Structure formats: C-alpha cells, structure tokens
Structure 1
Amino acid sequence: MSDVLEKQVRIGVAGAGVFGRNHANKIKANPRATLVGIFDLNAERAVALATEMGTKAFTDLSMILAEVDALIVATPAIAHGGVARAAIDAGKHCLVEKPLAATAADADILCQHAAERGVVLQAGHQERYIFQAMGLLELEERPLLLEATRVGLPSNRGADVSVTLDLMVHDIDLARLLFRSEPVSIKATRLAGKPENPDAVEAVLTFEGGGEARFFASRAAEERDRRMTIGYTGGEVAIDFIAKSFRDGPDFGLHPDFATRIPDPMGAATADFIAAILGERAVAISAADGAAAVRIAEAIDTVTRA
C-alpha cells in the first residue's frame, strides 16, 4: 500500500449503467483519485460511458484490474460477487454497490477474501450518510418500532434480484444501525412478482430486545414513495426521503438541515473509500455490515417462498 500513498488512487468502475456513471462522476470530482477506465462486458456501453468520461473502455476485467489500485463495482447485482471477488483476489480495494452480493454465501466469501488479502472492502449503503447528517446515529435510545416504505416505478434496473435485495436492503441496513442488534424472527409475504424474484414484499422483523421493524418494498408502483417512521418512547421521528424532510417528534435535537449537511452521500462515500485505502480512517461502511444486510434479505425471501 505504500506506493499508493505517494500518488493519487487509481480507480476503475465496473458497470456502465446509471450507477456506473454516477460513481465515475464522483471519482472524477475527487482530487485524490484518477478514473482509470470503465469495464463492461457490453463493448458499446463501455465505450459510450468511457468516451463521456474521457477515459478508457475495457471489456476484459483482468485488463482493467491490471491498471488500478481499486475498483467500484456497479454492475447488475447478480454479478457483484464474481466481479468483486476477482478484484479482491487480484489485491485490489473494492467499493461494492448494494447489495454486497446476490447471496449471503457470496457476501461471506468477499468478506473472507478481503480480510485474508488485507484490502479495503466497503459496502455501498450510502443512505447511512443521511442518517448521520440527521443525527440519528448519535442517539443512545433504541427505537421501539420502525416502519419503512420504499416504492419505485417499474424498471428493469435491479430486476436481476428480488425487490428485497434491490430496494428493501437499504432499510434493513438502516434498521440494524438503529436497533444495534440482529433480528430474532421474520415474517414476510410476497405481494407481486415471481416466487423466486418478487417485485413487492412486506416483512416484519423482531429484533433482539423486542424492537420491531415493518418493511414494505415494491418496484411495481405508479409513483415513488420513500418514507420511514421511527417510534421512540417520547414520540416518532418521521422521514420523507423524497421531500428530504422529517419531523422530530421526541425533540431529540435532530438536524432539520440534514440535506444541506450532506448534499452528496455518494461523493462522501467515495472520499471515505479513498481515505480508507490511504490508511487515514477505518472503512466507513464495513463489508460485515453489507453481508449482514444480504443475509437478512435472503432470509426474508426464503420466508416469502415458504
């Protein structure tokens, strides 16, 4: 890692879709990073995004890995495990968009290989930065009840995995942060889509200590809706992620200006990833946390098929 300290971090992006473009823009905007190139198995897509970003296109993963210090994995979710494992086994640091992998087994393999090779593996749960900006992560009190709705319009993006892994996984990660424990029971129902790949799911998780989380996620709706209500002994914190507003019912002294405190969560994640690579801080969003969210999402999907 010492040679990395003497120069900018050379980062590549795997995946030439919407998230690949977003991540490429964040790399280009960071003065401590160099965007080495874009990898995609589809040559036309790789060339198009690489041309837009003023960088090189790759259709061979081994070729881009030979030129980078780190890789951001923004491929379809089904490929996260394989692409990230190849990068890690090549000694490259990785930031993997959520979900960390499409299965809990693959997520655990990534964690194990990253630890064995001493590389940074950061999970792409960027919405944590929003909670941090609100001040929610500083609260000592654990919630009694959390209710989350995450609804999107019909789209092919993310459809390679269940809506649980595609959308609900965000709220699973946030709930684990707030309850600071693991679920001890899961109830879930598939509301739309195929049993092996549902498009709408509701789930109820009971956490250690008795707290309860109720999730609803859908990618088959007519309009977007992303809200969360968190109940404490003194009242409710109500968040509207689309309107970027919330109500601090218990009067915890949370920050109503959270949207201006963290205007660019993905950019913040990129900066933290680079800082971890350079040894300046611990990994901001650990691979273990990313794997835990995948494990819970997989358990929910298993219940919906029962």
Structure 2
Amino acid sequence: MSDVSLKQVRIGVAGAGVFGRNHANKIKANPRATLVGIFDLSAERAEALASEMQTQAFTELSAILAEVDALVVATPAIAHGGVARAAIDAGKHCLVEKPLAATSADADILCQHAAERGLVLQAGHQERYIFQAMGLFEVEERPSLLHATRVGLPSVRGADVSVTLDLMVHDIDLARLLFRAEPVAITATRLAGQPDNPDAVEAVLTFEGGGEARFLASRAAEERDRRMTINYAGGEVAIDFIAKSFSDGPGFGLHADFATRIPDPMGAATADFIAAILGERQVAISAVDGAAAVRIAEAIDTSTRKDL
C-alpha cells in the first residue's frame, strides 16, 4: 500500500528506553514526520519521554495505533513480534528495531502479514548504511573469509534475548549481504551465560558457494571491541568500528571518509522509512532480510546447546 496522498506521516514510538528516545529524536528532526506519541507499558517511562519530546504518552497499544500511520517498535526485543504484529494487523506501517522478532516463526508471521496488507515493514539493521558509505556493497568479488568481533561491557539492555539476537545479528546481516548467499553449515559455542540465554557466543558459518564467516559476540567483556576483517583474493579489508577507520588492502577504492558520508545512519533509516510509506522508494532494509538474520541467529543458538 502506497500512501502517496500523505504529506506528513504520523509516527508513534513503542518503547521509552534508549532506542525509543533515539528514534523519537530522528522522527522529530524529519520535516515530513509528526511524532504522535510514545507508548510504554510503564506510565512513568512513557510520560517522561513524551514530556521530553513534547508529545503524548500512551500506555495502551491500541490507543496509539488509532492515532498513527506508522509505528517504530523499539521495545525490549522479546516484545518486538507481538507489538509489530498488532500494528501491522491494525493496518500500520512498521520500522522494527533489530532483531525483527525474538523467534524466526514470529519474524515470518510479520513478513507474511505485512505483505498481505501491502504495508511497509522495515528492519532496523542500520549498520548497513555504514557499509554502503564505505562502498563495500559495490565490490563485486565475494570474500573468502570474514571475521567479526562485537563485544561490550555487561549490560541489562538487550538481555531479554541471547547475545546472538542482541548483538551478533548485526554481523549476520552484513555477512549475508557480502557473501550474497545463505549459510549451509553452522557451528557455535556458548562462552558465557545460561544455555537458553547466552551472553557470549562464538560461531562459524559456511556459505553456499564457498566462504566462511567467524563471529564473536559478547556482552560480558571487560572492554568494548568492534572490528571486522574481510579477506578477498587481493588482500584484506580491516574495519575498526569504534575508531571509525579501516584499511583497503585489495585497493577497491573504498571511501575512507565513510563516517562523514553517513553521519547519521538512524536518521537515514527514518528518512527511507518515510519515503517508502509515501511510495517514493522500495523498503530500504526488507523484513525478509531481517527474518533471515533471525533464522540464522536462532540456528546459532540451537547449535550452542547441542553438546548439553
């Protein structure tokens, strides 16, 4: 469904946490959007963020859905599937923070219901914009090996789902795009945390057509580290996400000024979401891709439990 008649897209935010605040700021900053309100089950949290954003607080999901054209889902990850499904079934477009849902079954349902209703369903894998700004997606050659490390300090945020769904899902999504294929083999080891909710995981994915991705994700580390190396026939691309620097070993002509080319990935995602609602472009980050990342993350978590 293309809402080309809309001039101002009325958007609500579900979730009054850190990501809810970030998304609300981006909506307020976009001249083609109106921030209708903040929904949270906690009236105190909803009212605090709504007051800060000079908008309305909602504690009933049905109430905010009655007032909006679209909803950004930034609740705890465990609730993504239920909140987004309610919004889609109410005929509202959705941008859902990663992961798209906490289970692949719920993610598939979201894709199906959005497609049936002709609604925009965008996954919140904003790190794609960074790779796009680097020029990595324009490289035609497939890599042979990818190493991704994404570790951080202990945090309760995101702990309602595994570290695989919370953090590693970013690198899963990026690896799928670079290898242009699905994994045909997955092995994984839980390094910390509970079997049903690990806090540190190592995983190895072998991709169809060749190539391997090795991931380390942790939310139980003593310091932050976010790096990726991508090996090609002509050399290695090495990225330090914290320092916002990289080396272009193969000489692909990648953009060293990527951080200035895309200073605000979340703002870009918000603009693309609005443009898709208005029928000006296809969805920037498809829900099908978001669901694929959830499916692989789920398989990784299943693999960590095989030896129990």
Q: TM-score range by the shorter chain?
A: over 0.9
C-alpha separation in 2, matches of 1:6 and 1:94: 16
C-alpha separation in 2, matches of 1:18 and 1:6: 29
Q: For 1:39-188, what aligned pairs fall within 5 Å after superposition?
A: 39-188=39-188
C-alpha separation in 2, matches of 1:243 and 1:2: 40
C-alpha separation in 1, matches of 2:6 and 2:140: 40
**Structure 2 partner of 1:294:** 294
Structure 2: state its 5+ residue gaps.
Answer: none
C-alpha separation in 1, matches of 2:224 and 2:268: 25
Using the TM superposition, give the Cα deviation of residue 3 of structure 1 relative to its aligned residue in structure 2, in angstroms.
6.2
Using the TM superposition, give the Cα deviation of residue 209 of structure 1 relative to its aligned residue in structure 2, in angstroms.
1.1
Using the TM superposition, give the Cα deviation of residue 245 of structure 1 relative to its aligned residue in structure 2, in angstroms.
0.3
Runs of 4+ in structure 1 off by over 2 angstroms are 1-7
1:260-294 deviation digits (Å, cap 9, x = unpaired): 00000000000000000000000000000000000
Contact 1:4 1:69 in 2 (8 A): no
TM-score, structure 1 as length reference: 0.99
TM-score, structure 2 as length reference: 0.98
Contact 2:3 2:277 in 1 (8 A): no
Contact 1:95 1:121 in 2 (8 A): yes
Give the number of aligned pairs.
306
1:248 is aligned to 2:248:
yes
AA matched with 1:154: P
Structure 1: state its 5+ residue gaps.
Answer: none
C-alpha separation in 1, matches of 2:175 and 2:29: 31
**Structure 2 partner of 1:265:** 265
C-alpha separation in 2, matches of 1:71 and 1:278: 15
- RMSD over aligned Cα atoms: 0.8
Distance 1:128 1:247, change over 3 A: same
Using the TM superposition, give the Cα deviation of residue 6 of structure 1 relative to its aligned residue in structure 2, in angstroms.
3.6
AA matched with 1:47: E
1:201-244 deviation digits (Å, cap 9, x = unpaired): 00000001110000000000111100000000000000000100
Using the TM superposition, give the Cα deviation of residue 82 of structure 1 relative to its aligned residue in structure 2, in angstroms.
0.1
C-alpha separation in 2, matches of 1:194 and 1:260: 40
Distance 1:108 1:274, change over 3 A: same
Using the TM superposition, give the Cα deviation of residue 7 of structure 1 relative to its aligned residue in structure 2, in angstroms.
2.5
1:162-217 deviation digits (Å, cap 9, x = unpaired): 00000000000000000000000001000000000000000000001110000000
- Identity over aligned residues, as a percent? 90
Using the TM superposition, give the Cα deviation of residue 4 of structure 1 relative to its aligned residue in structure 2, in angstroms.
5.8
AA matched with 2:129: Y
Distance 1:146 1:88, change over 3 A: same
Contact 2:3 2:279 in 1 (8 A): no
**Structure 2 partner of 1:225:** 225
